[in-house]
Amino acid sequence: MGYVVDYQPTIDQEGVLKVISEYTGLIINSKISAGVQLIDLGVRLKFIGRLGAGLEVIDQAYASAKGIKCFNTPEGNCDAVAEHAIGMLLGLMNHINRADSQVRKGQWSREPNRGVELGGKTVGIIGCGNTGTAFAKRLTGFDVRILAYDKYKSGFGTGTIEETRLDAIYEYADVVSLHVQLTDETNYLVNKKFIKQFNKPFYLVNTSRGKVVNTEDLLWGIEQGLILGAALDVLENEKLESFSKTELIQFERLCSLDNVLLTPHIAGWTKESKEKIAKAMAFKIKGIL
């Protein structure tokens, strides 16, 4: 397209602020935030592209007011997220991490590690965009009932996906998987009130954003037996070195529970998704310019 591209993977927020006035476009991941200050300094900006799904790092309303186009590329890593969510769920229900750790220590413990089959269960999907749909697609071979709720979409039900209200997920779900953007509405979506509304204990999978789940309330739900286990690819604060005292205590409690599975925000982080995201980004930039 005739543009010079500067690739600076180690640059920090302050570094971007110092140079952004020189650039026509900005492509970021979750490390850089495009708020009012950055947008004001980006006097030449025509677009801001977010690698992956989360647009919460961009002040979209302010950027739009300045004539700057904003977009993301959720179609690039939705397959990776879906596969990771399935893997975490199966690992959680079958105690794979715990059993692996025990065998490595010379412990051959079978009965305490008896698993639970996914087949025959009801899976509730909250958010049926790119990743939610990809997750549902991969569930179809497991003989499960799939209930999907999306506040901002309709008409997405199929022969295998039941488009439903949140109340139905509360009533029937054995598993809940979160696939939503982080917004004012979804911040702490999963809290005590949410957990208490379920008719039976359930497994929770979160590959969306950490702040969609209130960590303290999640721990409460697990300790009360209302949540059977949690698979978390994301945390409220993912900069472990910056934990407050409260966050450190919560993290240590999570780590002490063998029905909690943790990964470092890598659900969409595959070799294939890196290329898919890049291609989707290039296509969208070409459309704008």
List the catalytic residues.
209, 238, 265
For tokens 């059977």, name the residue: 228
- Asked whether 189 and 178 are in contact (CB, 8 A), the reply is yes
Other C-beta atoms closer than 10 Å to the C-beta of 32 total: 21
What residues contact residue 168 under an 8 Å CB cut-off, 6+ apart?
124, 147, 149, 162
Q: How many residues does the chain have?
A: 289
